[in-house]
Each structure stands twice: as C-alpha cells, then as structure tokens.
Amino acid sequence: MRIFVTGATGQLGSEMPRAFAGHEIIPGMRPDFDLTAEHSVRGAVEAAQPDLVIHSGAYTDVDGCEHDPERAYRTNALGTRYVALAAHAAGIPLVVLSTDYVFDGTKGAPYLEWDDPRPLSVYGRSKLAGEREALTLHDRCYVVRTSWVYSPRRRNFVTTMLRLASERPKLTVVDDELSAPTLAADLADAIRRLVERRVYGIYHLSNAGSCSRYELACRTLALAGLDAEVVPVSSEEYRQHNPLPARRPANSTLQNLAGAALGIELPPWESALRRFLESYRP
C-alpha cells in the first residue's frame, strides 16, 4: 500500500514506517503540507495517490488550545474536514486519531465507544468536532481514540518524568487523574491490524489497564532505577501552585470493546512501559 500520513514526525506518525514495514509511507508535513489549508490538503492527497490516509496530525497542546481556540478548531476540526473530504474524493479509507479528552471523566468506569462525549476543554471539544467531521463526510472511516501517548520522540509525561528525576530530588505529581498510558509503537501496530479489517467506526485503542499520573511516575522511575522522591498531590492542590487553563478529566480510561471483538488488543501498560525503558536512550 501507499499510505499518506499527516503528523508524520509526531509520536505516532514516526512509528508508521516500522509498523507498516513493506508499505510506502508518504509523509504530509510542513512546509509543503498545510493541514489548515484545504487546497494544500487536497493537492497533497491527490499527488500522493495513496491507498490509505492516516490522520495523526493535530494541535495537541491542551493548555495552548485554551489560549488559542481558533487555532485549535482550525487545525483539529477544519483540518480533519479537509483530510476527510480529500480521502473521500480519492475513494480510500481514512484513519483519524482522537483522544480520551472527549470525555469528562465522571463516569466512574472505563468509557465505551458508544458513551456520550462531554469534553471539558477546548482541546477535547475541537477533537470531538474533528471526529464528527470525519464520520459525517466519509463512510470508510476509522476513528481511533487513545490516551496518554508516549514515545522516545517529542515531549511527553514519561520522558518528562525521566528528565526531571535526573535534575531534582523531589517531584510533585497529581494522583487523582487516571487513564491508560499508551506506547506509540503498540498503538501503531494496533492500527495496522485494524486497517486490515474493513470494519469502520469508532475504536478505543490504549494499552490495557489504567493508573494515575502519580502511579505512572512512580513506576517509571522505579523501572529506570532513579531514586527521586515522588510526592502525590490532588489536581486542585497542584493547580494552586501551577495554574493550568484547561480542565482535565478525572478518569478518562477507555475500554476497548469494538477492537477486542476483532481480536485487536494492546498489551498491559506496565509491560509496555518496561519495554520502552529497556531501549530508551535520552
């Protein structure tokens, strides 16, 4: 296959050449590709003549979205509209990446693919808008929601904890936000398996299980052999000292029911974290 990938240099996009080994990856990235310009998206997809589009490009700065909602919607909603229209016009399937932040975190149990989204932040609302654009405009579309993605590339919670633990004797981490840390490599492999099955719709693909950010920090440092102290605090207490514009869901754990029914399941988050740290080099 020829696969056109938006956000090709991001955490997930960077894993696509490995996950789809033997296929041709065509990256859509600046300066030649502008997700916020319809003519740029349409022209790039037409020129690539792909068999599949994977749309992982997005504006993912959660607090930045609160400061600049126009940019958030222009990128995450309108950009997805343009990609969906281009893929539909080309007659090819589309994978759109979305987020657990489309939920408000108050369910008290993992979210199913059919639970009603209620995002708390501009980021979550703009990503939900992108989902709706894709599902409305394209009948051969997979929407893949995931959570707390990390990889060796770019800044993320896991690599930030490793860096800070090497610089400070004590870290303060929120203990009342829960979800599933997801290794980008595992997510890319799951997407490869998913597109082999032409069963379109919404999927929740995260590493199995869930934990708090505090638990994730503790486990990360323990597996890495770092001895910085990790101090748990509530999100309310943390915001008193570190104001954050965007509200975060308390428990946005995703339940993979639709993917599991097709035999597509990701490993537990702890085993994924262990594999990551065994090969990670700052």
**Mind telling me the catalytic residues?**
123
Report which of 125, 132, 133 is spatially closest to residue 102, judged by C-alpha positions.
125
240, two tokens: 């008193």
CA 19 to CA 90: how far, in whole Å?
24
229, two tokens: 């102290």
31 preceded by a cis bond (ω within 30 of 0):
yes
123, two tokens: 């980021």
CA 226 to CA 27: how far, in whole Å?
37
Q: What is the DSSP string of 133-182?
A: HHHHH-SSEEEEEE-SEE-SSS--HHHHHHHHHHH-SEEEEESS-EE--E
CB atoms within 10 A of CB 74: 16
264, two tokens: 């597509």
8 Å CB contact between 249 and 105 = yes
What's 97's DSSP letter? Answer: E
CB atoms within 10 A of CB 198: 9
CA 243 to CA 257: how far, in whole Å?
36
CA 187 to CA 262: how far, in whole Å?
15
Hey, what amino acid is at 35?
L
